[in-house]
Structure 1
Amino acid sequence: MNQQILFNEQIELDWQQQWFRFDAILAGQRVPCFITLAQLGRRWSRPIPDPESASVAFEQLRFDLEEEAESLIEDEAFDAQGRIWLGHPAI
């Protein structure tokens, strides 16, 4: 598929739920994309002990995360709520 998928700069960290959310825009619709902090830490190759470290890790890996999310969107790997979860099979 040759779809135009854009990502905005806005990210949301939910420290209690242990995930990051970032949004893709596809045909004018927001597609919520998530990665757990555990998954992010594995990709960053070090623990994430605090929110500041989480933000640094996300920013350092942003390009790769957005590329993976784009691929999952193109594969229509949405969960039952229409979300994309990096590192998890669609539910």
Structure 2
Amino acid sequence: MAYKFIIKPWITEKTQELMSNNKYVFRLKAKATKREAKVAVEKLYDVKVESVNIVNIPQKKRRFGRFSGMKSAVRKAIVTLKKGNKIEIFE
């Protein structure tokens, strides 16, 4: 059930710097809460989470030639792990 809330890891240059401080960033489903994100990360990666911060990124208008549309809104979680815990696949 943990996989229901996490869509994928968010990998950028900024998140690579955060990983050195034991913080990992994930893209979430729109309705996911902090508690659900914490439980999902703990179950999927077998680590202990210290805190979770949520950032909502609003939708934006996009154009492709004469066609216009909307880029969907995104919710991301910045997960801080307890000392001594690391997610091995990101190393």
Short-chain TM bin: under 0.3
Q: Give the number of the structure with larger relative contact order, counting CA–CA contacts within 8 Å between residues 6 or more apart.
A: 2
Question: TM-score, structure 2 length as denominator?
Answer: 0.27
Q: Which has the larger radius of gyration?
A: 2
